[in-house]
Amino acid sequence: MKNNKTYAVHLPDYRNANPYQSLLASALSKEHVETAFIPFSLSLLPLTKSIKGMKSVDVVHVHWITDILQPLMWTKSNLVFYIKFSLLIIDVFLVRLRGKKVVWTVHNKLAHQQLNTKRELLVRKWLAKSVNRVIFHSIEAQELVSNMLNIDIRSKSKIIFHGNYLGSYPAPSNSKLDLRERYGLPSSGRLISYVGVLRPYKGIETLIEAFSKVQSKSMRLLISGNPNSTQYKAQLAQMAIDNSRISTDFQFLPDQKMVDYLAMSDVICLPFSDTLTSGSTILAMSYAKPLILPETAKVFGCVPTNGAFYFGEKESLADVLNKVSSLTDSKLHEMGEANLLQAKKMSWETVGKLTAVAYL
């Protein structure tokens, strides 16, 4: 600590893709924590190299680790893998020996890029053992990761929820009915929407297949967002082409359009299969929207019991969609308000205070 301030370096820098880090930095600044953002260095000692020449660093805060995992996973030789893996762990201790604290926020269970699972679990296990502090967004996520890695890291863990998005995006540009008219959707009937980045692990194919089994002819599905490849875009378009009740908007969504899509929707469905937290879920909650989620999403630990419908072993996604089609508007409004009430409790002010304490 210098001049009553803590200096923290966050990496990698994903602020262009997600407001999470910017909101966190703003909250930390109110707790006398000055934050810098840098990418991972593409070296065998990525942390040491990344902060080289930066004298005023108290904390190295690691977020998503895909950039340092991939060079390890791509190595065909087991010997080379273990050498690189060992250097990564040594790298953490070298940073700590220089008097810096290394903090890791575990956002994902595993990398979405489907890397070598055995190797990735080993890296994650020893990284968790090596850092000073591990942050999870829920107690459920902490328990899941501890069991998955077969380690007890409760003594070095902090549970800090993901902050809300209240005030982070613009207000809807018009009423629900006017927005539906603008975007060519029927004013009546239930509208289920997926709004966000389109990736294979997000479960969009499952949603399209389930929606084809929905009995209500007045229900509509909107799938919007930017696919990660032309091949995936073509795949989704082909799946949706024969169903006139499915509308698609496969492009990057500016903030205003994204908010408008949320506002004109009755329910937000996020069928992703395996993750520890979801900014999309918290965004929907921040705009008072009821949710459809997989059972595995209960690991988020933030959605109230009366704010979502869950599908999984007991009830399929198609069953849940059919159930939603028969619910009253007042019931869905009640669910959305429950989510908004919970989102209001997830303030960035509290996140900043808890994170600053985690740096001590």
Tell me which H or E stretch contains 134.
strand 133-136
Average pLDDT, the chain: 94
Cα gap 299→275, rounded to integer Å: 8
Mean predicted confidence (pLDDT) in 216-242: 94
**DSSP labels, 210-240:** HHTT---SS-EEEEES-BSSHHHHHHHHHHH
Tokens of residue 243, six digits: 């169903």
CA neighbor of 323 nearest in space, from 339, 310, 306: 310
pLDDT in tens, 94-150: 999 999 999 999 999 988 776 789 999 999 999 999 999 999 999 999 999 999 999
CATH class of 6-159: alpha beta
Predicted local distance difference test score (pLDDT) of residue 2: 53
The string of DSSP codes covering 263-322 is HT-SEEE---SS-S--HHHHHHHHTT--EEEEGGGGGG--S-TTSEEEESSSS-HHHHHH
Residue-wise pLDDT for 70-93, tens only, equals: 888 888 899 999 999 999 999 999
Phi, psi of 294 (to 5 degrees): -75, 155
Q: For residues 130 and 149, is the Cβ–Cβ distance under 8 A?
A: no
Look at the pTM and tell me if it is higher than 0.75: yes
For the residues 163-168, what does the mean pLDDT come to? Answer: 96
Record: fold of 176-345: Rossmann fold (3.40.50)
pLDDT tens column, 314-339: 789 999 999 999 999 999 999 999 99
Condensed to tens digits (0 to 9), the pLDDT of residues 267-320 reads 999 998 778 999 999 999 999 999 999 999 999 999 999 999 999 977 899 999
Scan for tokens 């595993």, then name that residue.
110
Determine which helix (DSSP H) or strand (DSSP E) holds 193, and give its type and residue range. Answer: strand 191-195
Burial of 99 (0-12, 13-18, 19+ CB in 10 A): exposed
Q: Where in the chain is the domain with CATH 3.40.50.2000?
A: 6-159, 176-345
What pLDDT, on the 0 to 100 scale, is given for residue 1?
45
C-alpha span between 318 and 208 (Å, rounded): 10
